[in-house]
Amino acid sequence: MNKQTLKFLLTAAAVFLFLAALTADLQPHASACAWDSASWKNPTRPTHSLITKWAIEALGEDYPELVDYSEQLIDGANVEVHDLKIKCTKYGVDFNQRRAERYIGTNAGCERPDLIWKDSLEAYQNGQTELAYFTLGVLLHQIQDMCVPSHANNIYHQGNMTEFDNFEYMALWNWKPKVEDIEVEDPVFENPSDYYDFAVSWCQEDAPDYKSRNQFSKTWTFAGEDERWLLSRRQGAACLVTRWALESAILKLHEVPTEGGQVFISLNFPFD
């Protein structure tokens, strides 16, 4: 690569980052993004995608249907159902209306994650499989957000240049999940939406003193060992909780009622 080409690429990258920052700054109420989502303004890889992919890969051999609908799961996991208006009408559903009127999106998360799961389950039972997995991805996003200290501790912030959370900013540029040292076990909830509150409690235990969006370092280079530990642990926790919630969901989707009122799990994925 010659110097002229390198200079052009560096200039183009600088212009892109400037425009992205300018666009965000002109929107003082850009959504609180927790882990970053897919967007043309995101110069990195979406963390919500990475977390969801990790869970799908961990479960894919046992539940190949998750692999078949991985695109829908990942797309849904990048939908920001919070306090601000969104544009999302995938599969004929106005998710902004659901965000505002049904799920009750908040700055931290939402008030009714159980209804997100209910909508996913009903779509699956009605044969709308792509919609079901997309909506399940929306639920996974909410659960993943509860693994972020500012969200679990309900600290107001937004994804713009003046109100961003330092922990989230560091996570934007650093994907370093660590799961091998985590001793927390899957509580095995029958309802996958129950992992929302579980994730909140776990995150609060890990970061009880996280009180301000400005108290954390912005970069890995200048972060202390305790801050690096927390970022890696929280990313690892998000991976695990997503895996547990996803397994709970796939089992629930394939429950088959019997005449006696009991249920059994059909394991003939994806052929039943």
Per-residue pLDDT of the chain (272 residues; tens, 9 = 90+): 666 665 565 555 544 544 444 433 333 334 455 666 765 555 668 999 999 999 999 999 999 999 999 999 999 999 999 999 999 999 999 999 999 999 999 999 999 999 999 999 999 999 999 999 999 999 999 999 999 999 999 999 887 888 999 999 999 999 999 999 999 999 999 999 999 999 999 999 999 999 999 999 999 999 999 999 999 999 999 999 999 999 999 999 998 665 555 555 655 544 34
Domains of the chain: 21-265 (1.10.575)
Supply the pTM of this predicted model: 0.83
In the 3-class helix/strand/coil scheme, how is the chain assigned residue by residue?
CCHHHHHHHHHHHHHHHHHHHHHHHCCCCCCCCCCCCCCCCCCCCCHHHHHHHHHHHHHCCCCHHHHHCHHHHHHHHCCCCCCCCCCCCHHHCCHHHHHHHHHCECCCCECCHHHHHHHHHHHHHCCCHHHHHHHHHHHHHHHHHCCCHHHHCCCCCCCCCCCCCHHHHHHHHCCCCCCCCCCCCCCCCCCHHHHHHHHHHHHHHHCCCCCCCCCCCCCCCCCCHHHHHHHHHHHHHHHHHHHHHHHHHHHHHCEEECCCCCEEECCCCCCC
